[in-house]
Structure 1
Amino acid sequence: MAPPDKRRSSTSRRAQYGLFTGYVLAALGVLLGALLLAISLWRPSTFSGPRGAAQTMVAPATAPTTAVRTESQSVLETLAGFWRAGSQNAALRKEMELARIRLAEAASVKQENARLKRLLGLAQADTGAAITTTQFIGSTASSARRFGYIAAGTGQGVRAGMPVRSARGVVGRVMETGRSSSRVLLLSDTQSVLPVRLAREDVVAFAEGRGDGFLRIRLINLGINPVRKGDLFVTSGTGGYFAPGMAVAVATEITSDGALARMVSDPAATDYVAVMPLWQTELVRVAETPVEQAVTE
Structure 2
Amino acid sequence: MAPTSARRSGHSRRAQYGLFTGYVLAAIGAAVGAILLGVSLWRPSSFNGLRGAAADTVAPVGEASAAGRAGGQGLFDSIAGYLAAGSQNAKLKQEVELARIRLKEAEAVKTENARLKALLGFSESETKPVTVARLIGSSAASTRRFAYLSAGKNQGVGIGMPVRSPRGIVGRVLEVGANSSRVLLLADSESVIPVRRSKDEVVAFAEGRGDGRLRIRLINLGINPLKKGDVFVTSGAGGYYHPGIAVGILQEVTGDGGIAAVISDPAATDYVAVEPIWQPEAIKAAQTPVEKAIEE
TM-score range, shorter chain: 0.5 to 0.7
Q: Secondary structure at the match of 1:223?
A: coil
- Deviation, structure 1 residue 151: 3.1
What value does the CA root-mean-square deviation take over the aligned residues?
Answer: 3.7
Q: What fraction of aligned residue pairs are identical, expressed as a percent? A: 42
Segment drifting more, 247-256 vs 235-244: 247-256
Contact map agreement 1:176 1:292 (CA 8 A) in 2: no
Q: How far apart, in 1, do the equivalents of 2:227 and 2:105 lie? A: 37
Q: How does 1:1-297 map to 2 (within 5 A)?
A: 77=74, 80-127=77-124, 129-221=128-220, 222-229=222-229, 231-285=230-284, 289-290=290-291
Q: Provide the secondary structure at the position in 2 that maps to 1:125.
A: helix
CA distance in 2: counterparts of 1:100 and 1:201, whole angstroms: 50
> 1: distance between equivalents of 2:122 and 2:191?
26
Q: What's the CA shift for 1:122?
A: 0.2
The code of the aligned residue for 1:290 comes to E
Label 1:139 to 1:81 Cα distance change in 2 as closer, same or farther (>3 A). Answer: same
CA contact (8 A) 1:197 1:236 kept: yes
* Distance verdict in 2 for CA 1:242–1:67, change over 3 Å: farther
The 1:80–1:156 alpha-carbon spacing in structure 2 relative to 1, beyond 3 Å, is closer
CA, structure 1 residues 170+76, in 2 after alignment: closer, same or farther (shift >3 Å)? Answer: same
The C-alpha deviation readout for 1:59-109, integer Å capped at 9, x for no partner, is xxx99x999988986776465334311211220121012111111111112
Change (3 A) 1:150 1:292: farther
Q: How many residues in Structure 1 have an aligned counterpart in Structure 2?
A: 240
Give the conservation status (yes or no) of the 8 Å contact 1:227–1:258.
no
Residues 225, 257 of structure 1: 8 Å contact kept? no
Q: Distance in 1 between matches of 2:70 and 2:96?
A: 36
Q: How far apart are residue 195 of structure 1 and its match?
A: 1.6
**Unaligned 5+ runs, structure 1:** 1-61
In the alignment, the residues of structure 2 paired with residue 182 and residue 101 of structure 1 have an alpha-carbon distance, to the nearest angstrom, of 38
1:253-273 CA distance string (max 9 Å, x none): 333333222222222333322
CA contact (8 A) 2:198 2:233 kept: yes
Q: Which runs of 5+ in 2 are unaligned?
A: 1-58
Distance 1:115 1:291, change over 3 A: farther
Q: Is the 8 A contact 1:145 1:189 kept in 2?
A: yes
